[in-house]
Homo-oligomer: A and B are copies of this chain.
Amino acid sequence: MESLNFRPIAVVSSVFRQKFGTPRQPGIAPTSWAEVKLNPWTQPEEALSGLDQFSHIWIIFHFHLSKTETYKPKIFPPRLEGRKLGVFATRSPHRPNSIGMSVVKLEQVLNDKIIVSGIDLVDGTPVLDVKPYIVDTESIPDASYGWIKDVERNILEVVFLKEASNKLMKLETLGEKLRSVIVETLACDPRPNLYRQEDSPRQYRTNFFFQLDNYDVQVEFEGRKRAIVEDIIKVEK
C-alpha cells in the first residue's frame, strides 16, 4: 500500500511549552488554552466560516515530539503503571502513524486563528485538520471504558508557596489563569511512571520544572500526595 502525504493546515501556540506538564487527555485542564493559527493557503476566513456555531471541535494533529523510529506493537500507558497493552487499545502518541485527535472547547474564531481551551496540545504541534464535534453521533455516554475504568487516577493536593503565590498575583488575570492551569495539571501527576512509583530507583528525584506560557513553574513532589509549587520564574526569551 502506498504511503499518504499530508500538509499541516495550522500550528498550535499552546500554554504548554514542553511535553512534561502537558495533559495526557483533553479536558483535564479546562482552563488551559491554545491558539490554532491557520496557514494562509487554507484561506482561513472562508474555510472557518460557520465553525463558530459549534461549542466543541476536533483538532487532528501530528504527535511531532513522539519518537517513532522503532515501532513497538505494545506499549506502557502511563495510567497503567507498568502493565503493557496493544498500541491500538491506547491513546499513546507512540503509534504506527503518529496522528492524535483531541476534542477541545471552542472559545473564539478570529480571522485566521481559533482560540480553544481544555487542551492537551504542546506548543508547536502541527495540525492536520479541524472538524466540528457532532454531538448526535459522537457523544456516546453509555460506551464502555475498557481498561481505563479500572485505573485509579491519583489526585495530588496542590499547594503554593508564598513566593509563587505572590508572583502569580502580580500577573493579575494571566496569573489567575496560570494558577488554575497549574492546579489542574499537577493534580493529575504529570510525572513519568519511573519517577512516580514509590519503589522506583528514580524516586529520589522530586524537583521538576515545567514551562507554562512564558513562565517556568518550579515544583516539588511529596511522594504521591502533594505537589508544592515553589516558584514561578519568567523565562527570558
Contact = CB atoms under 8 A, between A and B. Distances in A.
A215 interface: no
A60 B53 CA distance: 25
Contact of A4 (B7, B11, B74, B136): B7
A39 to B, nearest CB: 7
Contacts of A148: 132, 134, 136
B135 A73 contact: no
A66 to B, nearest CB: 12
Contacts of A62: 4
A56 interface: yes
Interface stretch (A42-50, A173-181, A185-193): A42-50
Given A91-B131, A147-B50, A58 B101 contact: yes
A50 to B, nearest CB: 3
A129 B5 contact: no
A53 B89 contact: yes
B4 A3 contact: no
A51 interface: yes
Given A1-B8, A53-B144, A134-B25, A128 B101 contact: no
A26 B74 CA distance: 28
11 contacts: A1-B7, A4-B8, A42-B71, A42-B96, A47-B86, A50-B86, A60-B101, A97-B128, A99-B128, A103-B140, A134-B148
A135 B54 CA distance: 20
